[in-house]
């Protein structure tokens, strides 16, 4: 048998390259399993109540209903959003399919193309209320220690988390970059910091009040804190998860005027 001789540089390269490859693969697996905690795999509807707070006092509120379904071709979600309250906004609707987002206003009976970064209320953008798989749109990298680091959750309870960095892998990504903390073992998302394309911190998110919904413990509240002024806070409360057969024909721009809020 021919003997294979490995030089010292090659041995060192293999020694360091193997752990690096393992870490990169693990980071993407972590974000994939965390997505499964946030998002049901089956088509579903859910109610959202968004409340904007300034210095602790509630100022505005919007109630929505979201219909989400995985696009089997891309692995990303297709979304329909129906505005229910306040009365001045009732009947407005949003469609997001792929990289395109349309906003329909019954007052003008027209739909216009909008950006997922467009402000909805307070610290929440239109792209924050739709269902997305981060693993589909971002490349994850472990930036904290592989064994995890301690982080306080929204209730100031310490959690041992993986610290990840997410960078966009396609044009569907809503943010320019994100830091993301996922609790070890449970794969629950705990905290996220989301940045603009220029690197500016836009908002900090805490995932809170986990409840049993459609077969898993999922966050019933997401707390969004302004990246500059921590006294500007918006809460997103999710309720009424329900599995629902949603026809593909709903995810068409022409369907927006006919989307009902039932």
Chain segment 51-75, per-residue pLDDT in tens? 999 999 999 999 999 999 999 988 8
Length of the chain (residues): 262
Report residue 195: phi and psi, to 5°. -120, 155
What is the C-alpha to C-alpha distance for residues 188 and 210, in angstroms, rounded to an integer? 9
pLDDT band at 221 (very low <50, low <70, confident <90, very high): very high
- Structure tokens, 193: 């910091």
- Structure tokens, 208: 């809170």
Rg (the chain; Cα; Å): 21
For strands 124-125 and 119-121, give the pairing. Answer: antiparallel
The per-residue pLDDT for 109 is 92
What is the C-alpha to C-alpha distance for residues 168 and 191, in angstroms, rounded to an integer? 18
Mean pLDDT (the chain, rounded): 90
What is the C-alpha to C-alpha distance for residues 196 and 202, in angstroms, rounded to an integer? 6
The per-residue pLDDT for 18 is 43
pLDDT band at 171 (very low <50, low <70, confident <90, very high): confident
Give the pLDDT mean for 201-210: 97
The per-residue pLDDT for 23 is 45
Please name which of 39, 35, 68 lies closest in space to residue 189, comparing C-alpha atoms: 35
Residue 187 DSSP code: -
Please name which of 143, 215, 230, 131 lies closest in space to residue 178, comparing C-alpha atoms: 143
pLDDT band at 99 (very low <50, low <70, confident <90, very high): confident
- Do 34 and 205 contact (CB within 8 A), yes or no? no
Residue whose entry in the numeric block shows the structure tokens 């009040």:
209
Please name which of 213, 210, 248, 253 lies closest in space to residue 69, comparing C-alpha atoms: 248
215: Cα separation from own chain's centroid: 19
Which three-class secondary structure state does DSSP give residue 96? strand
| Residue 1 scores a pLDDT above 50 | no
Give the pLDDT mean for 202-207: 98
What is the C-alpha to C-alpha distance for residues 204 and 65, in angstroms, rounded to an integer? 23
């Amino acid at each position: 048998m021919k003997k294979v001789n490995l030089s010292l540089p090659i041995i060192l390269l293999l020694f360091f390259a193997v752990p690096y490859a393992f870490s990169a693969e693990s980071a993407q697996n972590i974000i994939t399993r965390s997505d499964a905690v946030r998002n049901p795999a089956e088509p579903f509807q859910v109610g959202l109540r968004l409340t904007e707070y300034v210095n602790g006092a509630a100022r505005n509120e919007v109630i929505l209903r979201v219909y989400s379904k995985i696009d089997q071709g891309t692995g990303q979600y297709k979304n329909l959003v129906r505005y229910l309250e306040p009365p001045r906004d009732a009947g407005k609707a949003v469609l997001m399919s792929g990289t395109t987002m349309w906003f329909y206003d019954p007052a003008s009976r027209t739909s216009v193309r909008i950006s997922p970064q467009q402000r909805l209320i307070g610290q929440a953008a239109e792209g924050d209320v739709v269902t997305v798989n981060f693993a589909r749109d971002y490349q994850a990298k472990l930036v904290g220690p592989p064994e995890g680091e301690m982080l306080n959750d929204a209730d100031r309870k310490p959690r041992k988390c993986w610290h990840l960095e997410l960078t966009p892998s396609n044009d569907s990504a809503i943010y320019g970059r994100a830091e993301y903390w996922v609790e070890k073992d449970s794969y629950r998302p705990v905290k996220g910091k989301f940045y603009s394309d220029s690197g500016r911190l836009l908002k900090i998110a805490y995932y809170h009040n986990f409840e049993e919904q459609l077969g898993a413990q999922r966050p019933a509240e997401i707390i969004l804190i302004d990246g500059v002024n921590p006294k500007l806070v918006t809460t997103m409360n999710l309720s009424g998860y329900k599995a629902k057969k949603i026809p593909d024909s709903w995810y068409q721009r022409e369907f927006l005027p006919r989307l009902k809020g039932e």
